[in-house]
Amino acid sequence: MRQTVNFSAGPAALPEEVLQQAANEMLDWHGSGMSVMEMSHRGSEYMSIQAQAEADLRELMGIPSNYKVLFQQGGATLQFYMIPLNLLRGKASIDFVHTGEWSKKAIKEAKGLAKVNIAASSEDRKFTYIPAQADWRLDRDAAYVHVCMNETIGGVEFHWIPDTGDVPLVGDLSSTFLSSRLDVSRFGLLYGGAQKNIGPAGLTIVIVRDDLIGHAPAGTSQMLDYQAQVDNDSMLNTPPTFSIYLAGLVFQWLKRQGGIAAIEERNIAKAKLLYDYIDSTDFYANPVAVPDRSRMNVPFTLRDASLDAAFLKGAEERHMVQLKGHRSVGGMRASIYNATPIEGVQRLVDYMREFEKQNG
């Protein structure tokens, strides 16, 4: 294990094994004499890398055959625009569940293209819970229902899948991709940036059901049209080849860990370790409703905010970095994605206990 534990919310820590392999192969991939980033995307070497990455992702997530996997650019933010562009299908409005900052950004971009209906919101309690489905006001004629499966800033996560009947469910998986088992068939579309659980920033993965492809309005840029992307196997233009290669290395690492079920078990244990300690003392606090707490992003505050700077300084001295909370929430945030070993979380808890003793 590396000495430094990196709690960044994203771009986030990657598995050490993956980074080591990427370094080893940097000048010569499998005897080709080339770095992966120097390969033509139309050549057999690179084509095999991308095909393997897709196959491994399909296996890991159990993606049904009537779903396409797209490797895109532009981050989730470009998808906030592309999804309504492609999925409106002549309908007038979209249902959104508003659970925090990332829902808000998705809503804002969709408003340029459609009427937005806020089917449910947790703004009344500062986005510290997931609204129960019984309270949602869904519209049967909506083009789709959009949920953000995990909010990195607020630290709230869906641990269940909403039932939206015949209306397609769209999920932003950016910060919870591959962290727990998920029934893909319950969704019409899943998407997310790679920079938390998958690989470097600059790669976006879209998983979309066949019947939702091919509905972009006439005149849509090919780059923004899922049908054109599908027709070209995500190679309408040069894809972000090196990022897809790294994602593929992460998928293989995940398989070596035992797949999603095994990593989910580890993620549950990691989150429990940290939340249990926070709940055991009033020196630290997490404001999120217990059943909706994120396993990926754990925001917490110190009782006395004037100690924040000292806490962060001590953490850095102990090689625990990027713990500062988002400015809108304050305090600290420990992001503990798939690549964070449980030993790293234990080190944080040990330090939190020590800091409390000295300052409590």
Point out which residues bind a second copy (CB under 8 A).
2-4, 6, 8-14, 16, 19-20, 22-24, 26-28, 32-35, 37-41, 43, 73-78, 80-81, 109, 112-113, 193, 195, 199-203, 219-224, 236-243, 246, 319, 321-322
d(Cα 201, Cα 73) in Å, to the nearest integer? 9
In whole angstroms, give the CA distance from residue 345 to residue 324. 15
Q: Kindly list the distances between the CA atom of residue 348 and the CA atoms of 6, 22, 352, in Å, as whole numbers in the listed order.
A: 11, 28, 6
Taking the complex as a whole, the smallest distance from the CB of residue 4 to a second copy amounts, in Å, to: 3
Closer to a second copy at the Cβ: 6 or 176? 6
The CA–CA distances, whole Å, from 359 to 54, 320, 342 equal 50, 19, 26
In angstroms, give the least distance from the CB of 105 to a second copy: 8
Nearest distance from C-beta of residue 10 to a second copy, angstroms: 7
Residue 175 near residue 336 (C-beta atoms within 8 A): no
Q: Which residues pair with 302 in a beta bridge?
A: 284
Structure tokens at 5: 């534990």
**Which CB, 22 or 205, lies closer to a second copy?**
22
| Beta carbon of residue 233, minimum distance to a second copy (angstroms, whole number) | 15
User: What is the closest distance, in whole angstroms, from the C-beta atom of residue 276 to a second copy in the complex?
Assistant: 27
For the four alpha carbons of 332, 339, 241 and 231, in that order, the dihedral sign comes to negative
Enzyme catalytic residues: 102, 172, 196
Q: Is the peptide bond before 200 cis (omega within 30 degrees of 0)?
A: no
Q: Where are the beta strands (DSSP E) in the chain?
A: 5-6, 67-72, 93-98, 115-121, 145-148, 150-151, 156-157, 169-172, 189-193, 204-209, 284-285, 297-302, 320-321, 332-335
With H, G, I as helix, E, B as strand and everything else as coil, classify residue 56. Answer: helix
Q: Which is nearer to a second copy, 110 or 143 (CB)?
A: 110
Least Å distance between CB 323 and a second copy?
11
Q: Give dist(CA 29, CA 44) in Å, integer.
A: 13
Q: Which amino acid is at 160?
A: W
φ, ψ of residue 297 to 5 degrees: the values are -125, 120
CB nearer a second copy, residue 24 or residue 280: 24
**Closer residue to a second copy in complex, CB, 11/214:** 11
Contacts of 346 (CB under 8 A, 6+ apart): 273
Q: Which is nearer to a second copy, 131 or 299 (CB)?
A: 299
